[in-house]
Structures are given as C-alpha cells and as structure tokens.
Structure 1
Amino acid sequence: MNFTDLVVFFLYIGGIALFGGSFFKRNKTSESYTVGNKDIPGWVVTMSIFATFVSSISYLALPGNAFQSNWNALVFSLSLPIATLIAVKYFVPLYRKINSPSAYTFMEQRFGAWARIYVSLCYLLTQLMRVGTILYLLALTLNAIVGWDIATIILFTGIIVAVYSMLGGITAVLWTDAIQGIILIVGALGCIVYMLFSMPEGPSQIFSIGAEYNKFSLGSFRLDLTEPTFWVVLIYGVFINLQNYGIDQNYVQRYMVLKSDKEAQRSALIGGLIYLPISILFLFIGTALFGYYHSAATLPVELQDVAKADRVFPYFIVNALPPGLTGLMIASIFAAGMSTISTSFNSSATVFLTDYYNRYINKKASNKQHMRVLYMSSAIISLIGVGIGIAMIDVKSALDAWWKLSSIFSGGMLGLFLLAMSTRVKRATGAIIGMIAGILVILWLTFSERILGPDSIGASFHTYLTIVFGTMAIFLVGFLVSYLLKPKHK
C-alpha cells in the first residue's frame, strides 16, 4: 500500500470511529441504547439490515467462488425473496406486538423459561464464534494484502469497533452500518468498472470468456441430494435466510427501532432484497477476475491452485488497482466486517441485559445499572471475540468443531421458533422432545461420515441439508407430540 491508500484507509477507520462515538449523548436510557429513540430514518435501518447480512466473508468468498467454479452461490440469494416475505408477514408483526428488545421473550411466553435460556444461550455462543471468525478472516486478508501482523490487526479492529458501538449504542451501529453498506457497494462497483475497461478487447471480452468456460451456470438441476445442485442450495438458502430474518437478534432488534409496523416491514423487505443484486456484483467480480487473468494479466504460480481462489481478489486489489482505489477496496472489506461485528456486540449485550440480568439477576435495577451492564457486557463480549479470533491463528481444528456446534444450535433455534408459531399448545413436553429429536438428527448428519464411514446413510446427504432436516425434525416431532398430548375436551 502506498501513501494514498494508507490515507484513504485510515481516514475511513478514524471517521467511522469518531462518527459512531458522536452518538454517545443520545444514550440516556437502556431503551435508547438497545432500540433507539424512534427517530432513525427508515433508509438507515434498511441499509443496516443489508450491511449486517454482508460480512467480509461474503465480500471475499463470493468472488473466489465465482473465480473457481460458477454462479451456483447466486441460488442462495435467489432464496432471499421467499424467506424475507415469510419473515415480513409473520415474524416482524409478532415481535412488534410483543414489544421486547429481545427476540427470545417470545420463547418464554410459549414454552417457559427453559426455552428462552436455551435459544438465547445458543445465540450468544454463535455470535462469539461469528465475531472471532470474522475478525480472524479480516486480519488474514489484510495480512495477505499489506503484511501486517494478524494478532495486531484482530486486536486493533476489535477495539475500534467495540469503542464506537459501545459508546453510540444501536443508533451508532445503524448509522455506521448504513455508511459502510454504501462504501462496500461503491468499492465493488469501482472494481468492476476498472476491470471492464482493462480488458484487451473491451468489456464484452469478460462475457465471452465467462460463457466459454461456463462461468455463469447456476449449477446442476438434477434431483441429487449429495451435491450442491440448484435445488439443494435453494432449499438450504430458504432455511438459513429464514433463520437470519426471522429469529436472529441482529435483525429483530432493527425491526423494533422504527415507529410503525409498516416501516419495519418495508425496511426488512428492502434490506433483504438489496443483497440479491449486490451478490450478483460480487459474483461478477469473480468472473471478471477469471477473464482478466486469462487475457490481460497472469497470476503468480502460487495462486493458480484452485484451492487458493479466495486469495485472487486480494492479490488483484494490491497489484492491479490504481492508488486510492486500492485503499477504498480495503476500506470496503473492512466495512463489510465491521458492520457485522458491531451488530453482534450491541445485540449480544441487549440479549444479556434483557434475558439474563433483568430476568434473573436484578429485576428492579435502575436505568444507571442497566447502562452499566450494557457497557460491561459489550466490553466483555468484544474481548472474548478478540480472544477467539487470536486463538484461531493456531487452534483451527478446535474452532472448526465449535463451528459445527454453532450450526447445531442455530438449527435447533429455528425449529423451535417455527413450532412455537404454529401450535397453541403451551405444554413444553412436545417442544423438548422435538428439540432433542432435531439435535440428534443434526448430530447424526454432521458426524456420521466420521464415525460410520463414507458409505453410511447420513454421509449420503450434502452438508447443506443438515439444518433443513434438523429443523424439520424439530418441527414435525414437536408438532406431533404436542397434538397427541393435547388435552381432550368433552
């Protein structure tokens, strides 16, 4: 990175931190800290929902995926309208009616305190792993680009995001997310324009090369459950996106900051649908990179390995883009990561305050005590997240196991929510039996190949289907047991 790029990058980092911290005076109550003062514009919430969905993983993984293979990953985005419409019609009005900062108050109302503790604890564990992983991948990318120490980058990024999200509360998170969402879109567009006009035969050459190598394919349309076909990815996308927009505290908290139900539903719908065209941009970057390095430039030998496709985009940013644009692109990657991390910090602190402190530790706490808990929990969560990110440098296998556990947790959460919304029986027996059945199915699908071998039935399904079968098992078993145990009236 030259001087211009460094100036662009650090101006962005410093500007975001100062802007986010400037909302400190607005957080006079715990309510304003967690759900705002009902004065945040709808477009800001919409862009925040979009920016929360896009992490630095998406920003780098989608181009790498398209460079390596094709546009099969776009099918995941095509499932967004289905999941978003379901969330807008059923989940958003539900949370607005309950009027709680936490998404998991509903679970206690339906099945009792155990359900609230289970889903909120699963959420907190998942968020810690999410923060650590994004910090690590962000640092790994920046290390590859500029050579800075990975642990230092993790610590620096974690502290910066923690400070402004802790000082500014949900208002700072929403506004900075909106700005970061705009920056990452501008960065992606700038990169595409540069590649289009760098082709020896003009912009059309990218399309001709992509068509020649079948780079625009959406994958196979065969009914094969062992491969990531169009249908497998579509079904997987519906369940994952329904989990994100329907039960994830990161999104539910945003539904609560607006004044009316219509505003909340509109922001949820548009914020989800924006990702579809932007994911096309990211995938097109990967296809354009493939065309660029097949005509205008040559990749070094160490990056020609298919397994290293994710490193091609960072290499292009450093070695091909002009000064200034390189800094903007690195800022865009940071924007994608920082928006997701800041959301996790604020929403996790909100869950701890609402679902644990207010419920079990101090039911009559003052507003001053609430604010102290929010600040302290935000700081602790950020420190743990930074620690996990640093631990990933050397202890990758253990954290891979953690990621598998987090998928088990999240699968159980979605099934339990769907069961709660579809039955009026308040007995917890059906929910508990269904949850156990679903977790057993997820465990079987996750570890059957390792324990029983590659010829086992569980190993014959693609990993994308784990959350699908697990969620369906929880819902169907829970619903059936609840129906059978339903008291009969004369």
Structure 2
Amino acid sequence: MNLPILDLAIFLVYMVAIVVFGISFSFRKRTANDFSTGGGRLPAWALGMSIFATFVSSISFLALPGNAFGGNWNSFVFSLSIPIAAWIAVKFFVPLYRRFNSESAYFYLEERFGTWARIYASVFYLLTQLARMGAILYLLALPMQALFGWSIPIIIACTGLSVIVYSMFGGLEAVVWTDAIQGIVLITGALACLGVIFWTIPGGVSASLITALEADKFSLGSFDFNFSNSTFWMILVYGLFINLQNFGVDQSYVQRYISAKTEKDAIKSTWLGALLYVPVSFLFFLIGTSLWVFYQVQPELLSIEIASKADQVFPYFIVNQLPAGLTGLLIAAIFAAGMSTVSTSINSSATLILSDHFKKYIHPNPSEKTSLRVLRIASLVMGLSSILIGWAFNGVESALETWWALASIFSGGVLGLFLLGFILRKTTSRQAGLAVLGGVLVIGWMSLPAILKLAGTDFSWSQPLHSNMTIVMGTLTIFVIGFVLSSFSKSNSK
C-alpha cells in the first residue's frame, strides 16, 4: 500500500531531521567521557524522557494495543510494577552507582566478586542488546513493509544505519536529546490517534467504554495465586524482577544515573522516566480497547485476516482510518519508539566495550583520541551486527517468542548475581560462581522448551510455571544458593 505524498513527506522529514540533529552533537565532542556520560551536564528532564523512551520500544508501541485488542488489560499489570522498582532504584541503586568513579554498571561486581563477575555480566549484556536490537529492527520492519511496500531487509538496513550515524558521532548527548524528542513525538502521535478514534467511533466514547466493560476487556486477569498462568500476581512478580533488572544492572540506565549533574537530578530523572511510562502504557491499552469497539460496531472495515493478527490491527487503522498527515505522524512515532531504544543500546554497548574490555585487556590507559576511536568503532560494529541479526529474524515463526527465549537465557543470571553481592555481604567469589552456575542451569532448563519449539522439534514437556517466570526462578536460585553457601562460611567480603 502506497502512502499519500503528505504522509511520506512528514515521515522522511522527521527521519532526516533526527539524524541531522543527532550528528550536530559531534561538533562538541572532545572526550570519551562526553561520549559516554555527556560530560555530566545533561538536565534531569531530558534524562527522564530518555529513560521513558528506552522503555517504549516499537515492540511496546505495536504490541500493547494488540494485547488490549485481542485480549484484556492483563499485561498492564507489568506497568504497575514499575513504580515499585523505581522506588528501590532511587533508594539503593542510584546512590550506589553515583559513588563509583566508573561508567560501567559492572564495576561493582568486579569489586565484589572479582574480574570474572564483571566479564560474565558484561558479555551477557552485550549479547542481550544484540538480540534486542535485532528483534526491534525486525518487528519495526513488519508494519513498515505493509505500509510502504518495501522489502523487510531494506527497511531494517535503512533504520539501523540512520541510528548508527547519530549514535556513532553524537554520543550520549545525541542519544538523550533525540530520545527526548522522540518521546514527545510518540506521545503526541498516540494522543492524536486516540482522539481520532473517540471522535469517529459510532455511539460516542461513553457508549464504547460501556461496551468494552461489558465484554470484560478491562480485566487485569485472575487474582488467583497461580504462577503457571498469566494471572495478575504472576505478571506483577515478573514485571518487578524485569524492572529491577532494568534499574539495577542495565548499563543504559546506569549511564543515565551517572550522567546527571547531581544525585538529586539522577533521582528525579529516574522517577520521571518510570512514572511517565505508566500513563502512556495506559494510553496504548486504551487505544487497543477502543479499536476493538471501533471494529466491533463496524466489522466491514476490518478483514478477517487482519482481525486474527492483533498486532497488525493498529498499523492497519493508522493507514486506513487516519486522515492524511496524521498517518505520517504516527509512522514517525512508531519509528521514534524503535530508534530511541536501538540508539541507547548502541551507546551503552560501546561504553562497555571500551571500559570492560579494551581498557582491561588491550590498552589500560588509552589517550582520549584512542578512546573516542574505540567508542565509535564499537558503535559501528554493534549497529551493523544488529542489522545482521535483524535479517536473521526474518523468517522465524515468532520474533517475539525468539526474543523472549534469548532474553531469558542472556539476562536472567545477572540480576541474581547483583542482588547476591548487594544484600549478602559475606558471600565469597567462589560461592557466587557456584550460585550463578546453578541459576544458569535452572534458566536453561526453563528456557529449553521454547528453544526446542523455535527449532521446530516436537520434543518438549510441560513446565510447572509460566515461561515469564524464568528470570524470577533464575534470580531466586542464584540468591538462595549463595545464601546457603555463605551461611557455612565465616569469611567476609571486601
């Protein structure tokens, strides 16, 4: 389907403007510290918008309305866990990272357990970001292919290269300020879309909401304490652990803590990013439910094929029901959601490659020129690798299931190791290593059915817990094993 000239022009102008704006920061970059932390001069509101924009990837922009359209508001419980995780972050994590004179989130793990812990966390973070960026680029290309009619590999390459350019030359300042703009664009686009739905929906807003309420579309799920199904409590616990991982051990969040001018500003930015996501996710769910009502009373406007694929309903509405001009804005908003997350991952990964690998094993005291060169080369390599992985996602049966399986394997153990070192002061390096080994085995065992399914094999078994509980059980296993082992030890950590 070809877009009107006006919509295509709005989208292209947005893309060019973002790239040019991001590159403009390269003229003021002088040190590696500027590239990784913005020189500690970034305002709290911009950092908060950047944290928010990192939360809202293109997956969220398309998947949340799709969840509400095809089901209910059970997944919204994930958003309700964010303020809890944010409170823990501002009370414990932000002060901890602000005390260390290191741009690496895993410097603390090395101080606590030794070099192996830092390498372990850093490598698995890089693997997670590669999988994440590849999944986002691919999932972003799916609706764009339907909208523009272009090939998926071309869309992935063009989007990835655009983000690489300003991330590679502009550094964290470019990432944060473009994130702030992109956050505003996606909020504006979502509000405009909801306004159009409410304005054009037959029967008016109140009648529509009553229809959805009678159909139980606003349900948050069962309140049974059942962790084998997607109940309210299962999603809440899963969300709490995922968001503790984000705020506690995710390099991109830690960089924002140390990029703020003061600890007070770091706390403000954390609260802003976390609390802003809750009403915006509410907005996305409301869009999905409103779309369900919209097409319930006008079924002739939606084909059976599209209706059976909930994630495609929102893009279909954008192209077919929105007025000219607004369609281009919404497409720009979807790209904004994806580009902000990918640019953050590129910058944080490059920072880790310099601090955790290049400085430790190749050149302990590089010059500023060398450090900047390494940061830019690392940004280029990570960005190009994400494009290749995005191409590899093309053809998988379910990109979301593939991403969830990879994320569980790559990121589940790091949070457990961090909490083990942070809470249990007498756990030794060897005990922590044994605990991580046990946790990784549990994560592998719980992830194996999903991996076998993705591989196309028929062999599998039923898990006693929901697949989302993988990170929860992996984290708890590491912590419990570490606790038991340290209980028999009289040695003290540093």
With the shorter chain as reference, the TM-score category is: over 0.9
Aligned to 1:218: 220
Q: Counterparts of 2:33 and 2:461 in 1: how far apart (Å)?
A: 54
Q: Counterparts of 1:323 and 1:401 in 2: how far apart (Å)?
A: 35
Aligned partner of 1:206 among 208, 211, 214: 208
Q: Which amino acid aligns with 1:295?
A: V
Aligned to 1:76: 78
Q: CA deviation at 1:448?
A: 5.8
Q: Which runs of structure 2 are paired with 1:429-468 in the superposition (5 Å)?
A: 429-447=430-448, 459-468=463-472
Q: Counterparts of 2:274 and 2:458 in 1: how far apart (Å)?
A: 40
Q: CA deviation at 1:425?
A: 2.7
Unaligned runs of 5+ in 2: none
Aligned to 1:100: 102
Aligned to 1:347: 348
Q: Which runs of structure 2 are paired with 1:51-200 in the superposition (5 Å)?
A: 51-200=53-202
Task: Tell whether the 8 Å contact from 1:205 to 1:291 is kept in structure 2 after alignment.
Answer: no
Structure 1 stretch 313-322 or stretch 399-408: which is displaced more? 399-408
Normalised to the residue count of structure 1, the TM-score between the two structures is: 0.96
Q: Counterparts of 2:282 and 2:402 in 1: how far apart (Å)?
A: 31
Q: CA deviation at 1:59?
A: 0.3
Work out whether 1:393 is the aligned partner of 2:397. Answer: no
Q: Which amino acid aligns with 1:12?
A: Y
Aligned to 1:303: 306
Q: Counterparts of 2:13 and 2:249 in 1: how far apart (Å)?
A: 36
Q: CA deviation at 1:83?
A: 0.7
Q: CA deviation at 1:202?
A: 1.5
Structure 1 stretch 387-396 or stretch 169-178: which is displaced more? 387-396
Q: Counterparts of 1:402 and 1:330 in 2: how far apart (Å)?
A: 23
Q: Counterparts of 1:316 and 1:351 in 2: how far apart (Å)?
A: 41
Aligned to 2:318: 317
CA distance change for structure 1 residues 357 and 136 in 2, over 3 Å: closer, same or farther? same
Q: CA deviation at 1:208?
A: 1.5
Q: CA deviation at 1:452?
A: 11
Task: Tell whether the 8 Å contact from 1:131 to 1:385 is kept in structure 2 after alignment.
Answer: yes
Aligned to 1:417: 418
Q: Which amino acid aligns with 1:311?
A: Q
Q: Which amino acid aligns with 1:14?
A: V
Aligned residues: 484
Aligned to 1:476: 480
Aligned to 1:250: 252
Q: Which amino acid aligns with 2:119?
A: I
Task: Tell whether the 8 Å contact from 1:122 to 1:406 is kept in structure 2 after alignment.
Answer: no
Aligned to 1:485: 489
Give a deviation string over 1:285-342, Cα, whole Å, max 9, x none: 000100110124531121232xx11110010000000000000000000000000000
Q: Which amino acid aligns with 2:311?
A: D
Give a deviation string over 1:204-262, Cα, whole Å, max 9, x none: 12202211211111011112221100000000000001101111011110111111111
Aligned to 2:23: 21
Q: Counterparts of 1:271 and 1:406 in 2: how far apart (Å)?
A: 22
Q: Counterparts of 2:192 and 2:137 in 1: how far apart (Å)?
A: 25
Structure 1 stretch 332-341 or stretch 445-454: which is displaced more? 445-454
Q: CA deviation at 1:486?
A: 2.4
Q: Counterparts of 1:122 and 1:80 in 2: how far apart (Å)?
A: 23
Q: Which amino acid aligns with 2:485?
A: V
Q: CA deviation at 1:429?
A: 1.2
Aligned to 2:368: 367
Unaligned runs of 5+ in 1: none
Task: Tell whether the 8 Å contact from 2:426 to 2:491 is kept in structure 1 after alignment.
Answer: no
Q: Helix, strand or coil for the counterpart of 1:470? A: helix
Q: Counterparts of 1:359 and 1:428 in 2: how far apart (Å)?
A: 19
Deviation beyond 3 Å, 4+ runs, structure 1: 394-403, 448-456
Give a deviation string over 1:59-93, Cα, whole Å, max 9, x none: 00000000001000110000111111111111111
CA distance change for structure 1 residues 208 and 396 in 2, over 3 Å: closer, same or farther? closer
Q: CA deviation at 1:264?
A: 0.3
Q: CA deviation at 1:485?
A: 2.2
Q: CA deviation at 1:152?
A: 0.5
Task: Tell whether the 8 Å contact from 2:419 to 2:479 is kept in structure 1 after alignment.
Answer: yes
Aligned to 1:230: 232
Give a deviation string over 1:159-187, Cα, whole Å, max 9, x none: 10000111110000000000000000000
Task: Tell whether the 8 Å contact from 1:206 to 1:287 is kept in structure 2 after alignment.
Answer: no
Q: Counterparts of 1:341 and 1:26 in 2: how far apart (Å)?
A: 23
Task: Tell whether the 8 Å contact from 2:45 to 2:272 is kept in structure 1 after alignment.
Answer: no
Q: CA deviation at 1:25?
A: 1.7
CA distance change for structure 1 residues 128 and 455 in 2, over 3 Å: closer, same or farther? closer
Q: Counterparts of 1:398 and 1:147 in 2: how far apart (Å)?
A: 20
Q: Counterparts of 1:398 and 1:205 in 2: how far apart (Å)?
A: 37
Structure 1 stretch 203-212 or stretch 185-194: which is displaced more? 203-212
Q: CA deviation at 1:484?
A: 1.3
Q: Counterparts of 1:325 and 1:372 in 2: how far apart (Å)?
A: 41
Aligned to 2:291: 289
Q: Counterparts of 2:133 and 2:389 in 1: how far apart (Å)?
A: 8
State, as a whole percentage, how many aligned pairs show the same letter: 52
Q: Counterparts of 1:430 and 1:480 in 2: how far apart (Å)?
A: 9
Q: Counterparts of 1:279 and 1:20 in 2: how far apart (Å)?
A: 27
Q: Counterparts of 2:399 and 2:199 in 1: how far apart (Å)?
A: 45
Q: Helix, strand or coil for the counterpart of 1:293? A: helix
Structure 1 stretch 133-142 or stretch 403-412: which is displaced more? 403-412
Aligned to 2:48: 46
Q: Helix, strand or coil for the counterpart of 1:256? A: helix
Q: Helix, strand or coil for the counterpart of 1:130? A: helix
Give a deviation string over 1:432-461, Cα, whole Å, max 9, x none: 1110111111122222686997765xx121
